[in-house]
Amino acid sequence: MKFDELKNQLLARVDTEDLLEVKKVNDLIRLHELDAECDKVIDRDGVSITIENGSQKFIKSHPSMDER
């Protein structure tokens, strides 16, 4: 996704003199960027991971799944 394009579109719809509105747009863009990064990591590692602790071995969901 082109986050700069999305940011520009959102900023065109709000009062850019209102700092709170600008902050909301920036926060939303940052959340979308983080979500995209989580997607990349989950695609790379899979939705579950295997944990080995000594002789114990178990599978749990990828930590990035919780963040999403």
- C-alpha 29/C-alpha 50 separation (Å) is 32
Q: Give residue 46's pLDDT.
A: 87
Domain range annotation of the chain: 3-67
Q: Give residue 24's pLDDT.
A: 97
Q: Give residue 18's pLDDT.
A: 96
- Token look-up 């989950």 returns 42
Q: What is the pLDDT along the chain (68 residues), one digit of tens a residue?
A: 799 999 999 999 999 999 999 999 999 999 999 999 989 988 988 888 888 888 888 888 888 887 76
